[in-house]
Amino acid sequence: MMSNPYRDKRWTRKRDAILRRDDYECRNCRRYGKHTLASTVHHVYFLKDYPKMWLVNDNLISLCNDCHNKMHNRTNDEATELAIYWQNKQAPHLKKYF
């Protein structure tokens, strides 16, 4: 994988497609009936750990900045409890990648 995959045109196209798929709404907020504008596309299984799932639709969800920050422990960049919830939720759709 290239040095910065987020500058790749494939990522830009995929990011736009995922935001459209999710109606530009944060998927995590939507679980609670809130309609929050999503500005980030998050890798459910982190890109650094699962580079093969870089552009896999089922590994990508739209999030607002607040929810995206809740997915990452910013001290050690490990998955938080909320991130693990989403990993477990998406795992059945991603079995073929493990």
Q: How far apart are CA 93 and CA 89, in angstroms?
A: 9
Cα angle at 70 between 53 and 1, to 5 degrees? 25
CA-based R_g, the chain, Å:
13
Cα angle at 47 between 23 and 49, to 5 degrees? 140
Alpha helices (H) in 25-96, listed in sequence order? 27-30, 65-71, 81-94
β-bridge partners, 78? 73
Q: Among candidates 43, 45, 38, which has minimal Cα distance to 21? A: 38
Instruction: Name the DSSP class of 44.
Output: S
pTM: 0.91
According to the model, what pLDDT value does residue 29 have? 98
- pLDDT tops 70 at residue 1: no
Helix, strand or coil for residue 21?
Answer: helix
pLDDT bin (cut points 50, 70, 90) of residue 97 is: confident
According to the model, what pLDDT value does residue 2 have? 59
What is the rounded average pLDDT of the residues 30-35?
A: 96
What is the rounded average pLDDT of the residues 58-79?
A: 95
